[in-house]
Amino acid sequence: MKPEQPLEPHPALPDYYPDLTQRPAFVRRMFDRTAGYYDRVNQLLSFGSGSWYRRRALTRAGLQPGMKVLDVAIGTGLVARQALAVTGDPQSVTGLDISAGMLAEVRRLLKLPLIQGLMEQLPVADERFDFISMGYALRHVADLNATFHEFHRVLRPGGVLLILEITRPAQPFKRALLKFYLGKVIPLLSRLTTGNRDMQTLMRYYWDTIENCVPPETIIAAIRDAGFTEAGCDVEFDLFRAYSGRKG
């Protein structure tokens, strides 16, 4: 049963769109326009450690060869590449994204099945996958409750959900430092290194969604309310979070 009340990951951000109804179009447009530059800027965000962290998170959550994976909000395939390295089969990982630009970019880089669609309304049959991954895109959905119910629907019994995210550090000094780096430095570097104004806007939006996102406890509760057992969250460096759950 679908939840009656929507749960937005963050309130409307009027610097980018006038109201929440305009958010999906804004997000799609920004990712379409920046797809070709995204990997380059990601290196600035991860300091080159992203691939190692993603693969470790996948294996810790239980990803194994033979599993069927749906990588939601695949982007340029940063998480999908590590899932492929674990499963060893290009047909075992399916990517989904709202952005045609991102799908075109990942199609150029990887040979795997791709679907364009919304996370809140997955165009996927029931109990189709063993594992769902999502990398740093939870803040871009319209409704957390609907999204988590869809994830639960398309997973097979015993299937695993893994969501990687960045959240505000609890310590004020770390929070101020991250705000300066992600809110000021990264947008400026994004513009200087790519020459793309939309990339600068996207990186400013990236930080603003982090700063205004609902707390981790709310996300864990929503995962649990969608029917997942073992709902929880691993935290590293007071910054990186790996939310997980299992379909009973």
Q: What percent of the chain has pLDDT over 70?
A: 97
Cα 123 from Cα 97, distance rounded (Å): 11
- Nearest C-alpha neighbor of 248 from the set 160, 150, 185: 160
Look up residue 122 and give its two tokens: 């997955």
Q: Over the stretch 6-18, which tens digit does the pLDDT of each residue have?
A: 999 999 999 999 8
Output the pLDDT for position 20. Answer: 86
At 194 the three-state DSSP class reads: helix
Provide the pLDDT confidence category of residue 47 given band limits of 50, 70 and 90.
Answer: low
Cα 243 from Cα 133, distance rounded (Å): 10
Cα 198 from Cα 209, distance rounded (Å): 16
Cα 228 from Cα 50, distance rounded (Å): 27
Look up residue 87 and give its two tokens: 């499963």
Burial 119-128 (b: 16+ CB within 10 A, else e): bbebebeeeb
Model confidence at 67: pLDDT above 90? yes
Provide the pLDDT confidence category of residue 188 given band limits of 50, 70 and 90.
Answer: very high
Provide the pLDDT confidence category of residue 239 given band limits of 50, 70 and 90.
Answer: confident
The H or E element containing residue 146 is helix 144-154
Output the pLDDT for position 4. Answer: 61
Output the pLDDT for position 46. Answer: 62
CATH of 20-170+200-247, picked from 3.30.70.20, 3.40.190.10, 3.60.20.10, 3.40.50.150, is: 3.40.50.150
Q: Over the stretch 76-122, which tens digit does the pLDDT of each residue have?
A: 999 999 999 999 998 999 999 999 999 999 999 999 999 999 999 99
Model confidence at 1: pLDDT above 60? no
Provide the pLDDT confidence category of residue 43 given band limits of 50, 70 and 90.
Answer: confident
Provide the pLDDT confidence category of residue 41 given band limits of 50, 70 and 90.
Answer: confident
What pTM was estimated for this model as a whole?
A: 0.94
Output the pLDDT for position 25. Answer: 92
Q: What is the DSSP letter of 118?
A: B
